[in-house]
Structure 1
Amino acid sequence: MNPYKSEPHLSKNCDCFDDDLHFFSQSFVKPRGRQQIFDKKDNVIFMKDPLSRPKKKSWEPLRNIPFAEYFDPLHKAALTFTCYLNETDGEEGELLKIRPMKLIYHLDDETMSLTEPFSENSGHLQGRMFHSQKVPRSNRQIGNDFLTWKDIKVGEDLILFGRTYRIVSCDGFTKSFLEDRGIKVLETETIPIDSWNLSRHFQTDKAREAEIKKYFREKEKVAEMISWENIPEFLTFYCAWLDTKSDFYGERIKRTFKLIMSSRDDSITMIEMTPGFGNQLFLKADRLPYITSDGTKKYYRVENMKPGIWIDVYKRPMYIYDCENDATKKFLKQQFGETEFGDCSIQLLEAGPPSEQIEVLPDELWFKAINLDYPSFKFLIIYSILNRRIDIYEEGKHREWTKGRPFLLEIDGGPLREKDFRIGSNISLFKWNFKLTKASQKTLDFIKSRDSVNVS
């Protein structure tokens, strides 16, 4: 007869036993040591996973217990969560500090431990915040005045001794433990990186930084762009032009063209597809110039082109209404999200382009925003259309539309596209919601032009 047959068992996913003969001598408390939370590999700096470094069981006894086989397997188990604390230094200090931490809930005595990993030159004390303490609820309830494991949920905030922590993930044992008890565990969230850590641990050397700044200023090295990994060698579009000067029997002719643009040098080749013209060459491979509203001469680039915009082909206003192959459509969806493709009506060509000639796509969209979590601060949200990155600053206090203290920088826009940014929209980034209240003049002109094209 198996002497352990009557013992309670966990789910197979809960790996809470070990064959190590010395596991009773181990301590759950990590030895004191300074281990960085950032690592560097192949000249790329990234944040380490606090759950996998070092690999330790999510349960380990705190002291020697004889005859452990007579005890419940969950007696000395612990639930492990990853969380972070966001705080501010007030009016003069840093606007946002992100402090990743490890939260442990001990099932045997219903206590909690909170530890912050060491980060070099952080400016504040790190290590053990508290150890094996019962945490009172912020809102007292009848029957239980302390937090339990049922109150810790991934993707929600948790108040510990008056400070709010965001629970972002848990280990495999904790996930299986919660799911076995009918609790749905949400998807793992990412920990934002504040501007100090971004500049301290993720900044490249000066030569590399200068090269990147020069590159963004000149915008000529297309192949190195992060969002252009899958860019095809040629992008193919269809455009239409209403010819009012040829006067074929007193009628205006809708002439259609195939526009082929090279992603290497931004050269454009146009072939006329109008019936009766025999697919003749209209424009040989050359960069296509246009004049901005302030009289500056610029050239159309790959990042400017998409269906739904007007371009100027040597004083001929042409409307891009479709693209040809799957590679072009895939790239456009990657850059701009869902884009409508279809035919071009004669009414749209008769209406012509917007009255004010603006750039096809600005490099950045600037908005003012508010956040209910920071009611006394005014924010600037800057969305880069080129690489789909978002920067958030506090607005300067002396001049309008100037950058103040950084809040979050280099945020991956993910599914957000330029059409999602408009006045009154709510933008959700990590656990914060920002409401866009005002746009800069250049951004406002672009939005009006975009909306006028969509309406027509």
Structure 2
Amino acid sequence: LSGTGEKALKLKDVPIDFDSTNVSATASVGRRAGATKGATSTDLGASQGGAADLEKKVLRFFGYFDETVTESAIEKARVRRVTICYFLEDDTISVSEPRQDNSGIAFQGAMVKRHQIPRPDGQGNIHFQDIAVGETLTFYGRTFHITDCDAFTRDFMAAVGLDMAPGQTAPTDAYSATRTKGGASAAAGPKSTIAQTALNASGAKVKLSATEVRAAKQFFDKDRQVLRLKAVWDDSKNLYGEKHFFTLYYFLSDDTIELVEDAAANSGRDPFPSFCRRQRIVKSKPKTDAGLSFGQKEANADATFYSDADMQIGNEVVIFGRTFLIYDYDKFTREHMKQSFGITEYKPLDVKEPPKPPVRREPPPYNGYGSEEDSLASWRSLDMKPPRKDNTNFEKYGDATVKFQLGLEGASPNDELRRFVLTFFLADTTIAIFESVQRNSGILGGKFLQRQKVVNAETGKPFVASDFYLGAKVTVNKFRFHVASSDERSLSFMEEHSTDFPKANINAVVGKIQAMLLSSRTGLADAFAEADRSGAALEVNKLAAIFESLGLDVCLHEALTVLRYFERNGDVNLNYEVLISRLLDISESPASIDADWRAIHQQRTNAATEGLSMRDKVDLQHRRVEATTAAYAARSLLEQYHQRRHLFHTEFKFVTDYATDGKIGEPEFRKVVQEKLQLGFAQQQVDALAKKLFPAGSRRITFEELLRILNNNSNYDHNLAQIKERRE
């Protein structure tokens, strides 16, 4: 060591203990080597002159101890070899026994876990200077004979002044000598690979037969060599039968076979450890009569057993009357087939059944108890949870409703006078029906149907907004109704939300009627001319009757949508000729195209959108929806302004006074509408109205200008009058 004048200790190549029992690192602080002759490892760590870290450095000694054997005629004692490891960093010791195959000893490996071991006399703990080659080491009542140590240990002990004796050979016990003697006899003759004699239980020599010699030779040559094959038993021909997949193990050491079923997940069968225990299998034919065999009788002397030559892909192995088809094997089996039988071709068979299409679970019919969504939620899962609500429509419409007047379809004379009011709630697509009181009818009015979702008998799904329009016929709880009329507010709402109410979409309706007028096959132009000659007034019911008589797909609501559009634009004195001139272009003539009106309509629709990219089409649709939403919000804002004019003035004046520039912009407008006035607008409506009223890059307005916007007398480019008319 450095500073001692002795041989320098080099710890660069110190072996690290990799024993599985000593893997865990200790929490000890590493010490330095720099002690004088005869010092302990603790003294070495305390020295300051060293240069090598002793952490994870181990002294390794080899030895043995004698174990007494009481009940054996062959041996009286057994020699058990051990490895003793001394850890320099904390003076701990561990003892382990190398594992020996087929030793019959159950507990091998770690014998003494790593810790500091006290001396037998109680004077401190055992240190490395207490261990020497050729000496004994006793602790915990067991004496270990040290026979040797590794090179690092010799260098280390020599550096500290402790020279180790030369290595010794551990003695051999009687049982090991017997086995060695038998192995030496087997290796003596070049033609014999196994001894012709063996020892019985009493120790006497017994001569082996030729069959036993061949079996022993096969065992020693092929021990632990196992062919692993995949086999399938097709039992699908029997009732409730199916294909069963197995792993077949063929043991080359004794030509035995073990069969283990491959347990599939969720197969419904118990995972038995072995379908057929390890044994030799006699070649037999499959059972064709009733009942399968679950065992086999004692084999005859001339019976033929399955061998490794039969274990090939495509061969069938009959075990207990069941036929197993070999369809694959592993890499070791492929090498064995190549070396033993020259089989180089490897083509596994495809025996897997094609995956079955997933079974679609059809929900049971609604039984009428509770809501249908709640019933479906309990059907989908055993974990009872309330159905998740869709708030999309609620955010879009809020508490908006549309109302229709209904009458009973095909009613008896006593029910012809009955009138009903259907309210459709757009937030959750529920309906409620109230029967109006008719004097002297003998029928009490009141609630006819509580608010709930109702299934449309024609579609099998709950009613939606597009199912209700003037002229429609609906069935509610086996009552057949026809929709007779609606109020002004509901009609305006449907026209503003024409995406949900297609019968109120003026563009779609006009497009259909234009195609009908241009087609010479519909007879619509002639019917309009005949109505003008007869002096019939242009009235919605008569207009709808003309379409119905010609079998054209225009309902009462669509006819009303057209007439309402022209009335809002000042055309109050219309006749059929004027209507045609308003609908068709100057260059177009009625009944000028000899084609079906549906084909004409489709062609004109395609021509209108031709040349637009998909992005342009999506943007156009988005602008239309946004304009519709802003128009509805503007109309509702004006209605509430006329009802609460003073409150509007107060709140807007307040935010104007506290603004830095004394004006109103989009943030102030949103704050007043949503927080101060609490008008009940959905977020989508406020966004659309604010975007139209305060477009990007527009200037902020004064309080007086805002009043002129609310009173519809402003010169502002984006006033409520334009927004209300749904100008894009």
TM-score (norm 1): 0.32
Q: Which has the higher strand share?
A: 1
Rg larger in 1 or in 2? 2
